[in-house]
Chains A and B, each alone.
Chain A
Amino acid sequence: MSAVAVLIDHDRGVPSGGALEALTAARSLASDLNTDLVAVILGDGDLFDAHGADLVAACADYGAAVVHCGRHSFLADYGPDAWGTALAMFVEAAGPVAVVAAGTDRGAEAIAQLAARTDLPLVANCVNVSPASSLADAPSGPAGGDAWHITRIQWGGSLLEDVTLTSTLPLLTIAQHSIEAEPCEGGPVPAAVADFEPDLGPEVQQTLVRDRVTLAEGVTLSTAPVVVSGGRGVGSADGFAPLEELADLLGGRVGCSRAVTNNGWRSHADQVGQTGTRIAPEIYIACGISGAIQHWVGAMGSKNILAINIDPEANMVTKAGYAVIADLHEVVPAICDEIRRRRDRPS
């Protein structure tokens, strides 16, 4: 077959945003290699009954010629061993030229499980991939063949690393938010569906999701259209009340810097940055945050940034598109008041 295969990481039938970005990146890789793009989706009968048609349609929108559906009762929910084993069986049977996944928790973990099982190199968080010039001289292992030239992120995106990859089967993850998910220009392609049934033993059951607890409904930090974040400049846990209010008025979420979580003012679930969440809102409002590189890499996917800071030289201010140089404790409540004033008296 020799296609470029993309693992579609999904949560009970809903593909991650990263999976669509990975499809987009893999489509251009397939076109460089002059070969087909195919998708791999793992689930059980119920999952495919409920979501199969939508998942296949999404893959077709992004140009997948074949959608390989791995069905097994152990794939009813996510599990790294179940996904890694099923993926290894797909690779064995279908012989793709490359396997790509999203740099999401699930995508990165499942493909690392594949890498461990096959003892193949895995290049994580790629932002640019140039394959060996054509299929004819595609990599044929350390002994011969051209290497692939890849640029990946290090330090959560603060640095880039150019690497060469020599492998019989390149395995890659695509850095989140490094590429915009774009369906095929000419509309969906006619995607064929191919079922396969991986042979999964009971040992994969140990790492299946056993239970889940929902804490937040509605928009989340990584999907919110507006994120209002506070840093050390907020001064205390209570100091976040006006930021909460602004986020509520705009249907957004509150985020924070590591200085804030280290002080115990907010939960780490709210942290934006290298060791927190990567966000990509329409606008990021950063209040009292200096903009250290490890924070910036979590926020740089934002379409617009407004920095509110007393220091005009702060990194966050000089990198932002918009800034207010003033005390956040005065500016944020004033913005809330102005929003309420306009809503009370619609023009």
Chain B
Amino acid sequence: MRILVCVKRVPAVGSRINVTDDGQQVDTAHLGFTTSPHEECAVEEAAQIVEQLDGDEHAVVVLTLGPEASTEQLRYAASVGGNEFALVMAEGGLDWDPQRTAVAITSAVRELEAAGGQFDLILFGNESADGGNFQVGIRVAHALGRPIVNGIKGIDPHERGFTARRETDAGYEVYELEAPCALGVKEGINLPRYPTMKGRLASRKAQIQVLDCTADVDAGGQSRVRLHRPPERASTTVQLGDSAAAAPAVVDLLDELGVL
């Protein structure tokens, strides 16, 4: 089985996100980089699926579109279960619009499949941590003619495809997809492993294939004017106490709000 996982390099933001003066990007002067929690779980899920199988012809292929520095995220994936790695080189790719991103990833997938065979499963995050466009995976899957369901929190491989569970308010829905197919996964599907010593070694040795397929990809119809922080909700905090003796004041408040 071959599984492809698409991950995106994003700034590891802290408790407050700053924007550069020109409003064009997150100020990363003092930040590291990471991937969305959804995508970390996607890598983990792919690794778990493949590890359950007999034989050694199985692979977890990890792809990212972005600047050269995105190899950092591929190397991290190598330390937690990824086997093959592809960087779709795109300067400024961290802030590409979702249509353009999807077109470039689609042609990269075609190239990878022409060389290494079809992917039985392509995993995306439910949404990227920064852009949160909720669409790149769906566009790629549609262009490749494969079914996709988003919001997945459970995957069971079987003979012909995959059973997938999507969480709802009250429980979950079950989907049955035949391979080849794609799924968008959510955090909570598993608890991603930490890199082991062996994993760290593997990550240093990882071979990264660089794909150059972004040259004639046109920008989509959505284009950034500027990023800014939402207005802070001005609040004066009413302190109800500094010990358990605050309980009556809290219950008075609950009563006032009509929730008691």
Q: Is the CB of B260 within 8 A of A339?
A: yes
The segment from B1-9, B53-61, B112-120, B168-176 found at the interface with A is B168-176
CB-defined contacts of A11 to chain B, threshold 8 Å: 168
Q: How far is the CB of B145 from chain A (nearest CB, A)?
A: 9
A154 touches B221 (CB 8 A): no
Q: A206-B176, A293-B15, A321-B237 are in contact. Are A216 and B132 (CB under 8 A)?
A: no
Complexed CA–CA distance, A262 and B153 (Å): 15
Q: Which 3 A-B pairs have the closest CB atoms?
A: A268-B188, A121-B221, A116-B142
Q: Does A70 lie at the interface of the complex (its beta carbon under 8 Å from any beta carbon of B)?
A: no
Alpha-carbon gap, A290 to B14, bound state (A): 12
A317 within 8 A of B: yes
Chain A's interface: helix, strand, loop or mixed, by majority? Answer: mixed
Contact of A161 with B by CB under 8 A: yes
Residues of A within 8 A of B (CB): 11, 78, 80-81, 103, 105, 108-109, 112-113, 115-117, 119-125, 142, 149, 153-167, 173, 203, 206-217, 220-223, 225-226, 250-252, 258, 261-262, 264, 267-269, 271, 274-276, 282-283, 290-293, 300, 303-304, 306-307, 315, 317-326, 330-331, 333-335, 337-339, 342
Q: Are the C-beta atoms of A159 and B227 separated by less than 8 Å? A: yes
Q: How far is the CA of A315 from the CA of B153 in the complex (A)?
A: 30
Choice from A121, A250, A323 contacting B222 with Cβ under 8 Å: A121
Partner of A215, one of B142, B171, B187, B242: B171
Known: A163-B225, A315-B15. A323 touches B240 (CB 8 A): yes
A326 touches B242 (CB 8 A): yes
Contact (Cβ within 8 A) A283 B228: no
Given contacts A162-B224, A223-B169, 8 further A-B contacts (CB under 8 A): A121-B99, A215-B172, A222-B169, A319-B232, A323-B239, A324-B242, A334-B244, A339-B254
Nearest CB in chain A: distance from B34 CB, A: 12
Task: State whether B247 touches A122 (Cβ < 8 A).
Answer: no
A173 close to B186 (CB less than 8 A): no
Size category, B interface: 35 or more
CB-defined contacts of B178 to chain A, threshold 8 Å: 206
Least distance between B156 CB and chain A CB atoms (Å): 13
**With known contacts A121-B97, A282-B259, A321-B235, A164–B225 Cβ distance under 8 A:** yes
Nearest residue, chain A, Cβ from B172: A213
Contact yes or no, B175 A207, CB < 8 A: yes
B15-55 residues at the A interface, CB under 8 angstroms: 15-17, 19, 26, 36-38
A116 touches B246 (CB 8 A): no
Q: Are B129 and A212 in contact (CB under 8 A)?
A: no
**Does the CB pair B244–A124 fall under 8 Å?**
no
For residue A283, which residues in chain B have a CB less than 8 angstroms away from its CB? 253-254, 257, 259
Q: Cα distance A225–B258 when bound, in Å?
A: 10
Q: Which residues of B contact A320 (CB under 8 A)?
A: 235, 237
Of A117, A167, A223, A323, which is within 8 A of B237 by CB? A323
CA distance A330 to B139 in the complex (A): 51
User: Which residue of A has the minimal Cβ distance to B237?
Assistant: A323
